[in-house]
Structure 1
Amino acid sequence: MRLPSFRLPLAALAGLLFLTGCPDKKATETADTAAPAAEAPLPKAPVFNADSAYAFTAKQVAFGPRVPNSKAHVATGNWLVAKFKGYGLKVMEQPFEAMTFDGTYIKARNIIVQYQPQAARRVAIFGHWDTRPFADNDKEKKNAPMDGASDGASAVAVALEMARVLSHQPDSLSPNVGVDFILFDAEDWGHDTATQADLKNQLEGSGTDSWCLGSQYWAKNLLPKNYKAEYGVLLDMVGAKGGKFTREETSRNSARFALDKIWNVANRLGYSNYFLYVDTGGITDDHVYTNQAGIPTVDIYHYNSSSDYFPAYHHATSDNMSIIDRNTLKAVGQTVLQTLYVD
């Protein structure tokens, strides 16, 4: 996750800001919108286990920084594939090679997992499983590798726990949709114009964004072939204490029906202190490319209203297990899991 390449004057934005550059994801806050009125009782859904999600987060961090081309990265990917297969789910790997903004050639792979692959109606849960190779937003250790506990591992952990829970449901308690867990690689090795102004972005002008390399590749090479889903949910930085999630502009414009459904479910489950009825500006993240691929996608990421930016741990060595909170994991995981059961 990253910083914007430009920012227009607020007056010109009329309170909304569209940011570019996967690193920045800056946003502006607008007036709160009214919460939906009370509805019929929510359908019965399984319980999301926050302790399990916490353990999945810790396991990924224990491998070490999940930087492409590293042994920790390979080992983590192999573990993820084995875990999903262990739940009896269909797993596909999508290897690809890419050049990063600094000229490094990497070997990466997207991981695609299908629950109820025979179902015609589908929902996609997206996330990224790699970590940024340098903590360029860190004031003291700018070139140090990061654990990426919230930025990456927490989203994958939520996906893993959802997959585990769903795989244990009898047919009578399964949702009416198939679910695809699509984990992108090489999302976080991008050029941050704010912290890396001294470095040249070798991908500039190439037609390839230096961020979100895995989702860009997947969007151009859909797997499964001709993939379609009713909507998608991108999880990004969803595990830290005090997590706040706002109604991001691209999500509102491209997947408003799904965004309204998710926020309504969160409100009815008692998680409105996490899922805020606050509209914020658009950011460039993996959901931009999944939307381009025809999957209306909502981005759920930790928004810091006090700085109109990302939390202090963003792209810093402080993004470690000390900030991970079971309550945040529960709020996100239970909300998204319950949403699958709402038609």
Structure 2
Amino acid sequence: MKKSIFSLVLAFVVVAMACSCMSCKSSRKSATEPDTVALVGPTFCADSAYAFCAKQCSFGPRLMNTEAHDKCGEWIMKQFASYGMKVEAQDAELKAWDGTMLRSRNIWARFRPELTTRVLLCAHWDCRPWADNDPDSTNWRKPVMGANDGASGVAVMLELARIISNDSTLNIGVDFVCFDAEDYGVPQWSSAPDSQDSWALGAQYWAEHQPQGYEARYGVLLDMVGGEGAKFYQESVSKQYAAEIVNKVWRTASQIGYGSYFPMQEGGMITDDHVPVNEKAGIACIDIIPFYPDCQQSSFGPTWHTINDTMEHIDRATLKAVGQTMVQILYSEK
């Protein structure tokens, strides 16, 4: 997934964080620190989200044009349908960077489709075919299990769908979209010209082939939201297109006790599924994606595009922080 371009200010992140930690010793509350608020909506169950993540991995790597991919897609659709969602498959043949035709399936599950006030939640469900960022070069052509990079975002959405289906107090519609063919971008070992357009193929197709008249108040992309030690900095494309939504989500996380997971600092500029949602679909969409400023392996974390992206490195606490924040966001909408 995704190439990243980091802003110059990130060179000073470590220093800024150190200074911030020193200032935390003061017992006086910062004037800009959000006040705490009461939780609204149902409780997000991290154990359930973890189980949804593990179930996806049980199919094996969900690689394009494979049986594991197709079976997992059918399971995802059945899960959403079991929660009373209106579920649709958007199938397409998409051409990859190397000429391979990919049998792509975007999955769209709609909660209360009759309502016109809607929020879009999305994640990708396919896996990277090549562990091209693995520290061992002999693994570069092996598939990635995608426990975090793929399964975690879908797992959070499935748990959100489960709990809101059992609650009658949410008065807005929610669209859950699982994008396919996100992670088939040009590998680092290839001599082919790198291209941002080789990523997020499913999201590009979805953005260009929406039902006529579809509207969403805003969108939130959940990408790699279950990793150990994850912190979600404010992504730059998100701030460019949807600064108010970024502020809302990060403020809300702080207000309900998850501010340590959502630093009020800017991260990198990421090529991800939210780019076509913003630029082609015209829906203001943000990306909740981790940034590891001190990780030598990758700023996306030590397991990104490696054979180690497995369930052993999924953290229930991270799933909980993201999931409960999204519950608070949805149930705070008027």
Structure 1-normalised TM-score? 0.86
**Which residues of structure 2 form unaligned runs of 5+?**
21-29
Deviation at 1:36, TM superposition (A): 4.7
Which residue is equivalent to 1:250? Answer: 237
1:185 is aligned with what amino acid? D
Q: Report how far residue 269 of structure 1 moved.
A: 1.2
- Tell me the amino acid that sits aligned with residue 157 of structure 2: A
Aligned to 1:98, what secondary structure does the other structure show? Answer: strand
Aligned length: 316
Q: State the partner residue of 1:221.
A: 209
Instruction: Choose from 302, 314, 327 the match for 1:312.
Output: 302
Is 1:324–2:314 an aligned residue pair? yes
Q: 1:38 to 1:107 in 2, by over 3 A?
A: closer
For 1:269, which of 244, 247, 256 is the aligned residue? 256
Alignment partner of 1:45 out of 41, 44, 47: 41
Q: Larger % of helix: which? A: 2
Q: Determine the C-alpha separation between the residues in 2 that align with 1:116 and 1:336.
A: 18
Q: How much does 1:199 deviate? A: 2.7
Match in the other structure for 1:15: 9
How much has 1:132 moved relative to structure 2?
0.7
Deviation for aligned residue 1:44? 2.2
CA offsets, 1:109-131, max 9 Å, x none? 10001111111111000100000
Unaligned runs of 5+ in 1: 17-26
> For residues 323 and 331 of structure 2, what CA distance do their matches in structure 1 show?
13
- Counting only pairs closer than 5 Å after superposition, residues 135-154 of structure 1 correspond to structure 2 as 135-140=131-136, 141-154=139-152
Q: Describe the SS at the equivalent of 1:242.
A: coil
Map 1:1-343 onto structure 2 (within 5 A). 1-4=1-4, 15=9, 29=13, 36-39=32-35, 41-42=37-38, 44-140=40-136, 141-170=139-168, 173-174=169-170, 176-192=171-187, 195-196=188-189, 198-201=190-193, 209-222=197-210, 224-292=211-279, 293-307=281-295, 309-343=299-333
For the 8 Å contact 2:253–2:259, the answer to whether it is kept is: yes
Deviation of the 1:106 alpha carbon: 1.2
Q: 1:232 to 1:35 in 2, by over 3 A?
A: farther
Runs (4+) of structure 1 exceeding 3 A deviation are: 27-43
Structure 2 partner of 1:24 = none
Identity over the aligned pairs, expressed in percent? 45
By how many angstroms is 1:14 displaced?
5.1
